[in-house]
A = this chain, B = another copy of it.
Amino acid sequence: MNAIPKPAADLLQQADQLSASVTRPIPGSRKIFVEGSSPDIRVPMREIALTQTPTIFGGEENAPVTVYDCSGPYTDPDARIDLSAGLPPLRARWIEARGDTEQLPALSSEFGRSRETNGKLDAVRFPGRTLPRRAKAGANVSQMHYARRGIVTPEMEFVAIRENQRLDAVRDAGLLAQHRGESFGASIQKVITPEFVRDEIARGRAILPNNINHPESEPMIIGRNFLTKINANIGNSAVSSGIAEEVEKLVWAIRWGGDTVMDLSTGKHIHETREWIIRNSPVPIGTVPIYQALEKVDGRAEELTWEIFRDTLVEQAEQGVDYFTIHAGVLLRHVPLTAKRVTGIVSRGGSIMAKWCLAHHRENFLYTHFEDICEIMKAYDVAFSLGDGLRPGCIADANDAAQFGELEALGELTKIAWKHDVQCMIEGPGHVPMQLIKENMDKQLAECGEAPFYTLGPLTTDIAPGYDHITSAIGAAMIGWYGTAMLCYVTPKEHLGLPNREDVRDGIMAYKIAAHAADLAKGHPGAQVRDNALSKARFEFRWEDQFHLGLDPEKAKEFHDETLPKDAHKLAHFCSMCGPHFCSMKITQDVRDYAAEHGVDEAQALQAGMAEKSAEFRELGAEVYRPG
């Protein structure tokens, strides 16, 4: 009679501890914290220790490399993880100290209250929930509001330290050499100061998504003058996974580098799943509230109302969702523009709103109620992610009148959000061939006043189902270079099914690559440090260092070991491509030794042909070349 329903049983099984596979330490590195102006500003980073250069290559010490870390306490061996308690609320004191919020006596949303009092949900409900906070009457608690009043919040300072990635240490070690970037008019800084963070947020060029009801989050920033970020989507659906699996997916996604995670669940415990995810998430969580609102009307888009949607926004804002995708730019007049498309409207949110508009012959209620939505956003500091409900779903539909018409509407809405001091980013396509990508970026910058752009890929061709993490990583790297602030990942399962754990990893890796390639191309200071360190390790046959510096140390080692499984080989002076008798890197070292011995100038004089040195070098070379 009192048997726990199946998903609840699954969840409880997992609630005590996560699989070791998602929490095991990342090889070769340790979690460090850089302290800010007060001891409770402790910014997590990952430090990769490097070994000494082998004597044959010079024998020098190699300074450790610090990298951005969004994996939270899960990769910290000192942290005690208890999913049922959630993560420590590291921002709680900052929020309280501002004195502009209050803890509510009860949940404000009707739906939230109904879930609280439903005994059938006891087994799946997150146990340690406290009551939410909200801005005091008339207050605006958005980071943008503080920024515009000249206040540098602890969150902004945290972000500044985080973005710098200990560049000072790198600069001191003389490792900052890199190619000149092309930033297409971005305002790339040599050092990120808290004041610069404040200014960018105040101008609307960056957002710092962190709902006051998600005090567990480690502040991060999204804007084109900061490091390019990536988002990973998780979420079950009617045909797929349960709650427990989603929490593990979150931890898995941030382990590999998801800067934010969107919970796109549409299943039956959507409210409870979200609670577990937020309470255990050190990264901002985004959602698409219209998905849940649609479930509340049993899937009948035409029955959606502002009241149902409003209640959903409040419900989610009080759980701590950090940004909402809101498809307020899908206007009645845009809908018929999609009729001749090859793939019509592919955004779920966009099609819901299109259906509603047609059914009622009225303007999108998200548009007509946009200022009402702003009032909710600023009471909890939820950021807008203005949805691209009319994004192209195929190459043929790229950059068409429907897409650009919506983008213009989003520009208009951005200005309204800013009028309310509400943080705002803009979602973008989708499927776009390479030659049309830049037009998207340029138009977004122009229409939306440099508000951060957040794109899904874009996919640069439609013909590779099963490989769309790659078709889209190409477009993502390019649009990131042109100025997109955050890239929403695409997994190999895109268009085919729901991603499993390995698909999530593959998708994240493709997008970490795209984001980093963009940072390199834009010329972010220090962006090349990790490339340089890894390449130096590669040249010097420091295999373990090469693995550890890579985005995925485990995969790199696994691949290497397939060909040369013995440990000894990882120190061998040949690499696995050339075999033991021939190695181009070894020959290069001969060249380098020679140039060092004779001086580069003298070496350059070689072209005059100094035959008398020939015998000497040949002897030396023949010796060094075949160490075996």
Contacts and interface: CB of A to CB of B under 8 A. Distances in A.
Interface string A79-106: 0000000000000000000000000000
Interface in A554-585: 555-556, 558-560, 562-564, 575-582, 584-585
Interface in A494-545: 495-498, 500, 509-510, 512-514, 516-518, 520-523, 528, 530-532, 534-536, 538-539
13 contacts: A177-B396, A179-B398, A237-B579, A301-B625, A339-B592, A340-B595, A343-B536, A359-B614, A394-B539, A465-B546, A466-B558, A474-B474, A498-B563
A547 to B, nearest CB: 7
Residue from A341, A359, A607 whose CB has the most chain B CB atoms within 10 Å? A359
A614 B393 contact: no
Contact of A346 (B182, B333, B492, B588): B588
Interface string A588-602: 111110111000100
A113 interface: no
Contact of A592 (B344, B348, B464, B538): B344
A54 to B, nearest CB: 15
Interface in A277-306: 294, 299-302
Contacts of A341: 588
Nearest to A468: B513
B461 A520 contact: yes
Copies, count: 2
Contacts of A532: 342, 394-396, 462
B531 A463 contact: yes
A160 B528 CA distance: 45
B435 A523 contact: yes
B584 A348 contact: yes
Contact of A576 (B496, B578, B607): B496
B609 A463 contact: no
A259 to B, nearest CB: 16
A407 interface: no
Nearest to A586: B351
Contact of A460 (B333, B339, B520, B551): B520
A600 B266 CA distance: 33
B626 A335 contact: no
A179 B400 CA distance: 11
A477 interface: yes
A433 interface: yes
Contact of A582 (B179, B266, B470): B266
A159 interface: no
Give the 6 A-B residue pairs with the shortest CB-CB distance, closest first: A344-B588, A497-B563, A339-B595, A238-B579, A394-B535, A336-B603
- Secondary structure at the A interface, as helix, strand, loop or mixed, is helix
Contacts of A237: 577-579
Contacts of A460: 477, 513, 517, 520-521
Interface string A449-483: 00000000000111111110111011001100100
Nearest to A498: B563
A346 B585 contact: yes
A598 to B, nearest CB: 9
Given A395-B531, A470-B510, A592-B344, A435 B179 contact: yes
A332 B582 CA distance: 21
A517 B355 contact: no
A555 B179 contact: no
A189 to B, nearest CB: 18
A320 interface: no
A618 interface: yes
A345 B594 CA distance: 14
A433 B467 contact: no
Contacts of A579: 237-240, 266
Given A358-B591, A467-B552, 10 more contacts: A339-B595, A346-B588, A360-B614, A460-B520, A465-B550, A466-B552, A467-B555, A470-B510, A497-B564, A497-B577
A587 B304 CA distance: 15
A347 interface: yes
Among A350, A467, A492, A592, chain B packs the most CB atoms within 10 A around the CB of A467
Contact of A477 (B340, B348, B474, B495): B474
Given A352-B587, A470-B510, A497-B559, A607 B333 contact: yes
Interface in A593-628: 594-596, 600, 603-604, 606-607, 609-611, 613-614, 617-618, 621-622, 625-626
Given A559-B493, A579-B238, A584 B346 contact: yes
A360 B611 CA distance: 7
A256 to B, nearest CB: 11
Contacts of A382: none
A442 to B, nearest CB: 14
A549 interface: yes
Contact of A359 (B512, B588, B617): B617
Interface string A350-367: 111011011111110000
A28 interface: no
Nearest to A397: B535
Contacts of A575: 495
Nearest to A621: B359
A53 interface: no
A436 interface: yes
A194 interface: no
B559 A496 contact: yes
A603 B592 CA distance: 72
A338 B588 contact: yes
Contacts of A618: 302, 359-360
A342 B338 CA distance: 52
